[in-house]
Amino acid sequence: MELRKDRREFLKKGLLGTAALLTGASSFSLFDTEAWAENYPDMAIARGNDPAAITRSAVNALGGIKRFVKPGNRVVIKPNMSFGSKPGEGSNTNPQVVAEVARLCHEAGAVGVSVLDNVLHSPEDCLSMSGIPAACRKVPNTVVANVAARRLFSSVKVPHAREVSSMEVIKDVLEADVLIAVPVGKSHSSSGVSLSMKGMMGLIYDRGSFHTRYDLHNAIVDMVSLLKPHLVVIDGTRILSTGGPGGPGKVIPLNLVIASADMVAADAQMVALGTWYGRKFKPDQVRHIRIAAARKLGRSDLENLKVVNVSA
Amino acid sequence: MRFQRIIQTLSLATFLGLLLYAAHPYPDGLVTDFFLRLDPLIAVGTMVTVRGVLTDLLPAVVVILCALLVGRIFCGHICPMGTTIDLGESVLLSRKKAPSKASSYEATSRYRPLKYLLLAIILGAATLSVSLVYLASPISLITRLYGLSLYGAACLGADAALEAVAPLLSALGLRELAYLQVPQRAFAANLFVVALFAGILLAALVQPRFWCRNLCPAGAILAIFSRRPLIRRHVGESCTACRRCIRECPTGAIGDDPCTTVHSECIVCLRCQEICPENAISFFGARTGEKNLKPENPGRRAVVIAAGTGLLAGAMVRTGFGNTRRGNREHSYTGPTLIRPPGTMPEADFLSLCVRCGECVKACPTNTLQPVWLEAGLDGIFTPKLHTRWAACAVQCHACGEVCPTNAIRRLPLVEKNHAKIGTAWIVRQNCLVWEQDKKCLVCDEVCPYNAVSFQAVPDHKNAVPFVVENRCIGCGWCESKCPVQGSAAIRVNVIGEIRLASGSYRERAKEFGLVFRTKDNRIDKLAPGTFDNQSVSPAPKQDTGRPAEEKPNGGLPPGFIAE
């Protein structure tokens, strides 16, 4: 970490912050993200056997949760919990990873954390078998819910869309201050892989039309041009290498978590680290990742990114 | 609140609660069709129709025997139809009662025999094994009203209410409730159900509880047994003939001489006893100098004509198109899309048993079960069918069989139900995106829980085209309901190959016919996993896609990858 260059800045902020606290302006931010931005890594990869611990250290290595969540913020976390299957089957996000991200948000002062998905299987099964609500129960201010009722969605125009010019999105996502994607690394029978970008389809009312009416790959990119997560935490504790998105399929333990503010980079990294359908792929071999990078929604040129590796 | 009103409220609440719980997953230990089992007409009519004792319907026999003790107490306290009519009348009618001259039994006896004649017609038809019970069974009518018409509206209302109070729920820290999803249901023929009930309710403008006094054949059965019940109205000598009780009686059971009573019309609501200024009326205690009024009976001639009419109606139905059976033809005709729920009795037996209460339709979690209007003929009104374009039959559910009060749909274990073939899907090539336009579409194969759609390469087509493997297709309709073309689907379920067994094992019959029903993913249809016993079914034969591996598009990879 290059602290020296910013020591003066840091002291200035610190004094200002103290003064602000003393004068009661408690909402003043102690750490101004803009001033620090250039020093954050593009990505952090944490390896280890404790899913919660590697989640925390990946986010910390990226600059800490406070970089993304400010006190008083409302946060929406988008996990994968669309299938009535157990954590070991790999079609849903590891519940400990989701709960740890929620806990980090709470610690950063979020007033409300909503863990939302529009599930595919029976909602009761998805919620109970995924283990996500159980894991999040102890995290204060956190609600885990299946969002399927139409009243909870509102229609949004997609500027500069290639395929889908408008879509119905969960209102709470549109109103949230921070959107965090917490997908599991998994294969997908249509899109090849389903990671942070593909996973955002769980926030859409009529995701079926993405498959039937539009070119899926461009539709995904249109969607994430609108629903760009502020932070991506990919669960690579184990990946569903084949049989995705619902499984059953080959589950490979990787014991890692990827964190990045760049959804394209995070997805690209997961593609490169994993094995899919018995093969290795370059990120640009996944259509929607290639399109997203071409449309400048993020970077897939992993070799030029600043990646921090940590272990926990 | 008066005792009668308390009992009525509790009874209606229980009825509605049970109806709400008539759903998937079916709550063990609850008899959601309990009120239907109390209906004397359903019990008597159905047992005559099928010429046998149906043990599930024995509670109604208890109700009939109770009439010997306390008369038509069921009508005034338990019957949800009576309570609903009372509720409707309290809104519809003015509080001012008609004068006693116009309210006495004698003044209102004109239509009273109709209920007996209606009963005679229904029993006449029943002797020919034709069930007309559904036309006038009070519990069937009211179950239909609440289950098929008001339930859908209530779901709509609940959703709107949740939207309205969402900010409040969030403010109260009940954010989970704000996300609650109320299932939205649609029902065919629901307006006809409402119209029928509206007619019944509007008849109250002629006389209060017009239905109960004059038309209800279940009431007629109870009336026959309550000519002189043990507990009955008695007026003492202190009566000053103020005639207030005549005006207050909801069923006009009191004669022009207020000391007289027609017990078979009395619903034992005790209103007369409560309002009597002289406390002259009692239902218990000693009876001295009792004066009874002879009830208006239908003439013998009228009863014979009514029974004859019933016989004739029965004969018409039997020689109609939908109900033919032994003595006429080998099998009945059913329309090609009249897909009955799995485990439904053979059509003629089914029509004899089904009382058209609509519980199965209400209980269906996917909403595929719908009441038919005229598709099954005039005698098939309100019977259930699967609307496979609208929704599909869920693999893990057999709620329709669980809730059926007469076993017109057999109560089968899931593994049996999942061998009860209800039809076969076939592909309409002109509508199919792949066959007709050579576009890539795999939806029918993807959603089929039984792996019964196979995509094969054919000459002149770039894309593999769908075929139905008919011995794997059970007719559940997932393919038809999810087919992405608009309007009529390119893959439709037809009754071809349906199996209906009055008794015996569907699993064994399926084996005999060489049918192989095996789910490829027991969670496919959004319902509870683990309940379909995969081990207990015969294994599927090795699938031959008819397409060598090297011909697979994109080297066998999902289209999302660019193979290099």
Instruction: For B179, name the nearest residue in chain A, comparing CA atoms only.
Output: A147
The 3 state secondary structure assigned to B284-326 is CCCCCCCEECCCCCCCHHHHHHHHHHHHHHHHHHHCCCCCCCC
Q: What are phi and psi of A21, to 5 degrees?
A: -60, -40
The alpha carbon of residue A2 is apart from the nearest alpha carbon of chain B, in Å, by 40
Q: What is the pLDDT of residues B136-161, one digit of tens each?
A: 999 999 999 999 999 999 999 999 99
pLDDT of A4 above 60: no
pLDDT mean across residues, chain A? 89
Taking a C-beta distance cutoff of 8 angstroms, is the pair A239, A180 a contact? no
Task: Write the pLDDT tens digit of every residue in A251-295.
Answer: 999 999 999 999 999 999 999 999 999 999 999 999 999 999 999
Mean residue pLDDT of chain B comes to: 89
Q: What band does A16 get if pLDDT is binned at 50, 70 and 90?
A: low
Chain B nearest C-alpha distance from A147 (Å): 6
Least confident of B330-334, B508-512, B551-555: B330-334
Cis peptide leading into residue B25 (ω within 30°): yes
- For B119, the enclosing helix (H) or strand (E) is helix B114-127
> What residues does A240 pair with on adjacent strands?
A186, A251
Q: Alpha-carbon distance B281 to B2, whole Å?
A: 17
pLDDT value at B250 more than 90: yes
CB B562 to CB A285 under 8 A?
yes
User: CB–CB of B558 and A212 under 8 A?
Assistant: no
Element (H, E) at A269: helix A263-273
DSSP labels, B233-260: -EE-TT-----HHHHH-TT--B-SSTTE
Contact B529 A125 (CB under 8 A): yes
Question: Which residues of chain B neighbour A284 with C-beta distances below 8 Å?
Answer: 562
Burial level of B51, CB count in 10 A (0-12/13-18/19+)?
A: exposed
Does B563 contact chain A (CB < 8 Å)? yes
Task: Output the pLDDT for position A284.
Answer: 96
Condensed to tens digits (0 to 9), the pLDDT of residues B456-495 reads 999 999 999 999 999 999 999 999 998 989 899 999 999 9
Nearest residue to B34 (alpha-carbon basis) of B136, B135, B119, B143: B143
**B163: distance to nearest CA of chain A, Å?**
6
Give contacts of B 472-491 with A, CB under 8 A.
484
Q: Which one of B434, B486, B534, B562 makes the best mutation probe of the A interface by having the most chain A beta carbons within 10 Å?
A: B562
Residues in chain B within 8 Å Cβ distance of A143: 175-176, 179
DSSP state of B379: G
Q: How many residue contacts between A and B have a Cβ separation below 8 Å?
A: 89
Query: What residues have CB less than 8 Å from A291, skipping those under 6 apart?
Result: A217, A218, A221
Answer yes or no: do B179 and A145 touch at CB < 8 A: yes
Cα gap A27→A70, rounded to integer Å: 9
- Identify the pLDDT of residue B131: 93
pLDDT of amino acid A62: 96
Average pLDDT over residues B155-184: 88
Yes or no, beta carbons of B560 and A216 under 8 Å apart? yes
Residue B61 distance to chain A (closest CA, Å): 41
User: Average pLDDT in the B268-284 region?
Assistant: 93
- Which pLDDT belongs to residue B104? 94
Q: Would the CB atoms of B529 and A83 count as touching at under 8 Å?
A: no
**Between B181, B484, B560, which is nearest A148 by CB?**
B181
User: Torsions phi, psi of A186, nearest 5?
Assistant: -150, 155
Query: Within 10 Å of residue B109's Cβ, how many Cβ atoms?
Result: 18
For the residues B227-245, what does the mean pLDDT come to?
A: 92
Q: How many CB atoms lie within 10 A of CB A157?
A: 9
Question: Average pLDDT in the B195-220 region?
Answer: 95
Q: Are A180 and A97 in contact (CB under 8 A)?
A: no
pLDDT, residue B94, reads 78
Nearest-CA residue of chain B relative to A127?
B528
- The reply to whether residue A285 touches residue B564, judged by beta carbons under 8 angstroms, is yes
- pLDDT of A133 > 50? The answer is yes
Residue A34 CB contacts under 8 Å (≥ 6 apart), including other chains = none
> Does the predicted model carry a pTM greater than 0.95?
no
Residues on A contacting B at a C-beta cutoff of 8 Å:
83-85, 112, 114, 116, 120-125, 129, 143, 145-149, 151-152, 187-193, 212, 216-217, 246, 276-277, 279, 281-282, 284-288, 290
Measure CB to CB from residue B559 to each of A147, A190, A246 and give the nearest one.
Answer: A190
Q: Distance from first CA to last CA of chain A, Å, rounded?
A: 19
* B513-558 tens-digit pLDDT: 999 998 765 444 444 333 232 222 223 333 444 444 445 678 888 8
**pLDDT for A214:** 85
